[in-house]
Amino acid sequence: MRSTVSFLIGCVLGATGVLVYLHETRQLAVAAEPTAVQRAAMVAQTPKIPNPVTGLIVPVEGVLRTSLRRDFTDNRGGGRTHGALDIRAPRGTPVLAATDGTIRKLFTSKAGGLTIYQYDNAEKLCYYYAHLDHYADGIKEGQRVSAGDVIGYVGITGNAPIDAPHLHFAITVLPPTKEWWKGDAIDPYPLLTAE
């Protein structure tokens, strides 16, 4: 009888030891630094984490980097190329400042509809947000914004198809004279994605 009790106690102690060992092993695994591949996946799945190279966030709330489709060189008729990135989202989805900077111009045009031109802090690049449904409350020219601030809402103004609301997002390199309408377009896609 005594040996049976000893055997049972031994079993319980042994099982407890195994459980403690497994628990500690798991905690060690959790505490380990993420690998480069894991970090890239985290950036892709968390739109508001700035791209580690460019510092840009995806400028439409809730849109994953992995869902973006490169369309910078798409033909838009009359020999024109697109020169931007279209980010599809339901009408009314918040549009976010892609980086820190200043609202340079609020402008309405036939093609772009309701638009915002934002400069970065160095005034080297201009960020253009078009087809907005409406601006964020209180947004005005000269206003400082931080990456992730809501500046407007996705819409179908300008020449956007009624059944395909999206943000037309362009980035231009400003000339030395800094006119907001004179920049040369560069492809936003590689600057947003973790590539």
Task: State how far the Cα of 1 lies from the Cα of 6, in Å rounded to an integer.
Answer: 9
**Tokens for 35?**
């690998």
Q: What is the number of the residue whose Cβ is closest to Zn ion?
A: 168
Of 44, 57, 84, 114, the one binding Zn ion by CB under 5 A: 84
Count the site residues for Zn ion by CB under 5 A.
3
Q: What is the total residue count of the chain? A: 195
Q: Which stretch binds Zn ion (CB under 5 A): 27-35, 80-88, 89-97, 99-107?
A: 80-88
Nearer to Zn ion, 122 or 162 (CB): 162
- Give the count of alpha carbons within 13 A of 64, CB side only: 9
Residue 127 parent element (H or E): strand 125-135
Q: Which stretch binds Zn ion (CB under 5 A): 37-45, 61-69, 84-92, 105-113?
A: 84-92
Q: Is 102 helix (H, G, I), strand (E, B) or coil?
A: strand
CA distances from 147 to 62, 74, 139, 157, 185 (A): 14, 28, 15, 24, 20
Shortest Cβ distance from residue 53 to Zn ion (Å)?
A: 24
Nearer to Zn ion, 44 or 84 (CB): 84
Q: Which stretch binds Zn ion (CB under 5 A): 51-59, 83-91, 108-116, 141-149?
A: 83-91
86 binds Zn ion (CB under 5 A): yes
Under 8 Å between Cβ of 51 and 194: yes
Q: Which stretch binds Zn ion (CB under 5 A): 7-15, 32-40, 85-93, 107-115?
A: 85-93
End-to-end Cα, the chain, rounded Å: 68
120 binds Zn ion (CB under 5 A): no
Of 103, 168, 171, 193, the one binding Zn ion by CB under 5 A: 168
Residue 44: name the closest of 69, 70, 63, 71 by CA. 63
Nearer to Zn ion, 43 or 154 (CB): 154
Binding interface with Zn ion (CB under 5 A):
84, 86, 168
